[in-house]
Structure 1
Amino acid sequence: MGSPGLARLHGLFAVYKPPGLKWLHLRDTIEMQLLKGLNACKPPTPKQRVRFLLGPMEGSEEKELTLTATSVPTLTNHPLVRGPAFTSLKIGVGHRLDVQASGVLVLAVGHGCRLLTDLYDTHLTKAYTVRGLLGKATDNFQEDGRLVEKTTYDHVTREKLERILSVIQGSHQKALVMYSNLDLQSQEAYEMAVRGLIRPMSKSPMLISGVRCLRFEPPEFLLEVQCVHETQQQLRKLVHEIGLELKTTAVCSRVRRTRDGLFTLDDALLRTQWDLQNIQEAIQAAAPRVVAELEKNLRPHSGTQQLPGPAGPQGSGHPDSALGLGCWGQAGQ
């Protein structure tokens, strides 16, 4: 297990998960490709051992036998004797994506699983592009679901949509401050707000820190959503709720994660790049950024006054009210 190839595999990297692929299947595919690459590496030179071989004595006319010390390779570690050197790897998966969703998926190998846990504890935001279609509603909020209603949408304009989005963002940002457990009158709270580090420090419902319309071409519209503690189904429900607020209906046709914490689409390896060399290079490239992010977000703060958590949906500004878009439940991410 002292392979130099394995030593360069401890860390975090990101891949691009295509739609229709289960995250568990993706993880197993990555493991299979890494094992294939590790086992294909040139094995180390076999150790030598001394062995006494029986043979004729040189210069003897009577063909006398003698024992001669010689060095022979030890075959106990040969692949043909013991099988593949690597049969399994410890691979962790970060914030998961469901089958229909696509985008950035962070994975960890070996000791990187501990870094993945630390990164999870920083509650970094994630970014998505969510595509919606006006004019119909389905039982699962997706375009391919069972149609339950069709409506007109001629009255919907980009201005009306952006007005709804601003209300959503405002209500969720109030809840974001509530769940951050910060003394809003402290210097620390001010500095964290300036640096954009205010985020929930424990489990919370889905919280949206930013939402905007990227494209509006009825019946289609495209949103960019920055959030934390979300599930992809909650984002689909977001599109449904926006449709209701616009006095029509809407379904979600695509959910794509474009950023998970410090990992973006530029960092994500495509399916053709899921091999040992590309993953090793991705881990080495991401390592300094991961360390810097952890130092920035996990640095102990002094003088923080811990506030009690929100009282529940009855608290003012809670995202479960009106334009907080329904009861999100506990995020599974």
Structure 2
Amino acid sequence: MSLSERLPRLWYGPRWRTLLLWPLAGAYAFAVAFRGLLYRTGWLASHRVAVPVVVVGNLTVGGTGKTPVAAWLARQLSLRGRRVGVVLRGYGGRAVPAPVVVGPDADPRQVGDEAVLHSLRRPHVVVVHPDRVAAARRAAEEGAEIVVCDDGLQHLRLARDYEIVVVDGARGFGNGLLLPAGPLRESARRLERVDAVCVTDRGAGRASPLHVQGPRLLTAAFRLGEAVNLRSGERRPLKSFRGRVTHAVAGIGNPDAFFDGLRAAGLEPVAHALPDHAALDPAALPFPAGATVLMTEKDAVKCRDAAGPDWWFVELDVAVEREAARELLAHVLERTGLTGAGVHLG
């Protein structure tokens, strides 16, 4: 087991297991606090772009569900008639010298899998670049009225009008320690300074109640939907795979969440966890040729050219309670100056 696989197991266990890493976590905490102070006092500058910016991020390393929440928000704003630009770093892609506009047919090896995933949902524009300020400016130049930044809570160079933090409802903040002794990128007290906290519910129960002061708190229910064949586009309910030998592939931040969701649907898959953003190697598949394979849509965008005839991705349905969604959207639109009549929740 590699270090990247071993550390998360330690982070979500008793604190004492990472005792030797506490000094490093203390140094990291000082660096994060000092950097934040430099931005708050103006020694380091945050840059505004020509349109409002909403950041959807997280406090922890690993999969919390921020990309599905960012995609949900972008869709809701699009349904509201707004031209939405989604910007992100482009993890898993190659470094690019200038911001790149991403289309649905883009190569995820170039721009990253999450960027292609966003583009498939058809916002006005998707732009990737490590410098989120440059990416947001390009989105505005392409006609975006509002920018949704997928990740970037800690990218303080980009000034923002609204911040949403996504928290995994099952795993929470683990042992509550900062990197590398725990999963936190910054102190959980940061929640008191954001505008909204979205807790993801995958149907497995919450590890512990989340108490926050200040921001609005809402829950996003994540449920696995239908399976879609990568080659033909055929759709099937997950229950049609019950009793069959299936292999499940997940190259996401929290692959167990996908596997647990399949089991909750009555399947008994052979699980193959990959590192986040990793792609299947066609020359060394971890399952037999001709196998029935279920994967996340994030994995599927990297397999479109090499998919077997029985490879399927499983849709992820995101649902926010109607009144909570209405209040969040109204608050976002008010804070960004885009308030208009009505809020459509499609």
Q: Same fold (TM over 0.5)?
A: no
Tell me which interval the TM-score lies in, with the shorter structure as reference length: under 0.3
Based on CA coordinates, which of the two structures has the bigger radius of gyration?
Answer: 1
The TM-score, its normalising length taken from structure 2, stands at 0.22
Q: Comparing both structures, which one devotes a greater share of its residues to strand? A: 1
